[in-house]
Amino acid sequence: MTSVLPVHPLHPQLDRPDPTGTLAATVGVTPVLRVAAPFTDDERGFWAKLEGFNPGGIKDRPAMHMVARAKARGDLRPGARIIESSSGTLGLGLALAGMV
Q: What letter represents residue 60's amino acid?
A: D
59 catalytic per annotation = yes
Catalytic option among 59, 60, 64, 67 = 59
Pick from 26, 91, 24, 39: which is nearest to 14 by CA? Answer: 26
60 within 8 A of 53, measured Cβ to Cβ:
no
Catalytic residue set = 59
